Structure formats: C-alpha cells, structure tokens
Structure 1
C-alpha cells in the first residue's frame, strides 16, 4: 500500500522564522514556499536528502479560526503528521475502510502535492497519518 515516507509535517507559528532556522542553522534551503488556500495554510517544503528523499514540511495556519490554529493553540508547535505516499488513493481509502481503520476523510481531499486522506490518531498509535497520491507533474 505505502511506497515511502513522503514527508514529516511540523506545525509552526511563523513560517519565515522556522525556515530561517532550517536554512541558517542547518543549511537546508527550502525547495518551495506556497499557500494552500483550500487548507488555509502556508507551507515550506525542505529536502535535506535531495529531491527524491523524504521531506520536511513546515506548516503555518493562515487564519485564526482554522482547525490547525486550534491545534497549534492547544498543543503548541511541533510534529503534526507523517505522510506516506501511495499509488492509488481511492483504492487505499477503500482498503483501509474495509479493514475498519478510522479515516478522517470519506473522500480524498486536494492536498499541496496531490490527493490525500488522513487516518485518525486513535487507530494509529497516537500519530496522525496522511496517505498521499502525488500528482503526475
């Protein structure tokens, strides 16, 4: 089902400050910084192992009333989720539902790099998991 870890997502209050730490302290330049209006976030992708390696995704909520801002206010900055890349998100969703996994999305959502679903932490040993089918570009 899963091909590889695509990224580890870290929730931050200020994207520029977080990017500056990775760039200036660790020498990891961001690959791209962009807004994802459908999710009300700004993100920066960093690839410390090169373009084919797993990434670090820094996430900043854009609106004070978003679910990620509520998460940030409740739990503070830190790891938010782990993303696993899959070949077919629709088949993955059906397979997981058939196995009784609690999924947060009944239909795949549009994500920064493709289509994704999230698995509830209650069924994944406390970790929010994203399953992602990347766009073909």
Structure 2
C-alpha cells in the first residue's frame, strides 16, 4: 500500500437528514457546533452543513440533506431513515487510491474520482469495508 493511499485523517462523518435546519436545533443549539458553511452542491444533489469539531485541522460532522427527488441519497433516507451515511478519510492522491482499490479488487462505486464539496473523491462500497460506506477524499489545495 502506497503512502499516497494511506488515509492521513478522518475528514468527516456524514449524517443524512431530512432537514438541515431542523437537525441544527440539536447539533448547533444543543452541542454548540456552529456551521462553518452551509452550501448547495448541485453535482451531488445535496445541501451540506459543515460542523467543525476538534479545533483547527480537526474532523467535522457533515449534515447532508438530499435536494432532488428520485436520487440514491433520497432512497437511502427513505429506506434507512436519518443517521450515519458515511465516513470520509483524507488521502494524498485519490487517483493512486482508486488504482489500489482496483488492484485489491475492493468494490468501489466510482470508476473515476468525482468532484466533491471540497476536492475529488471516490466511494468504497460497504461490501468491501465491513458494512460502512467509505469516502476517500483528496482535498483541493
């Protein structure tokens, strides 16, 4: 395994919600996690609230709200309800990570990196990660 593929940190834990404003009543108003940004990401068909935790360079909670009907995210929400969606780990080189996933025959949902909210990413299928949807992210520099 190359050092470019080895995750350097947990970037975020994503929680799927029906309504970000409603979810913020707990995460912001009870826990005190103030969003650093709330934005629409049309390429992913979601609205995202980024909630920093752990100080500068720390991990974040990411609240994701589907914005388009008949998408896989909305179907996930309808089937499983609100809660954990995925864990995201930061890698130095997403192309090297994807190559290694293919070499190890690890099932991935992306055949090429996708444009994510803060860089380029791939998703590793839960079948290859003991049941957890895993995002590998190369942050934009």
Please say whether Structure 1 and Structure 2 have the same fold, judged by a TM-score greater than 0.5: yes
Give 1:96 shift. Answer: 1.2
Report the number of matched residues.
136
- Aligned mate of 1:122, from 121, 127, 139: 127
* DSSP-derived class of the 2:122 partner: strand
Give me the whole-angstrom Cα distance separating, in 2, the residues matched to 1:32 and 1:50.
15
| Alpha-carbon displacement from aligned partner over 1:4-50 (angstroms, at most 9, x marks no partner) | 10000000000111122111111110110000000100000001212
Instruction: Give the aligned partner of residue 26 of structure 1.
Output: 31
For structure 2, the 5+ residue unaligned runs are: 1-5
Give me the whole-angstrom Cα distance separating, in 2, the residues matched to 1:64 and 1:8.
23
**Superposition TM-score, scaled by structure 1 size:** 0.97
Instruction: Give the aligned partner of residue 41 of structure 2.
Output: 36
Instruction: Give the aligned partner of residue 3 of structure 2.
Output: none
Give me the whole-angstrom Cα distance separating, in 2, the residues matched to 1:62 and 1:108.
22
* DSSP-derived class of the 1:107 partner: coil
Give me the whole-angstrom Cα distance separating, in 2, the residues matched to 1:34 and 1:108.
21
Superposition CA RMSD, Å: 0.7
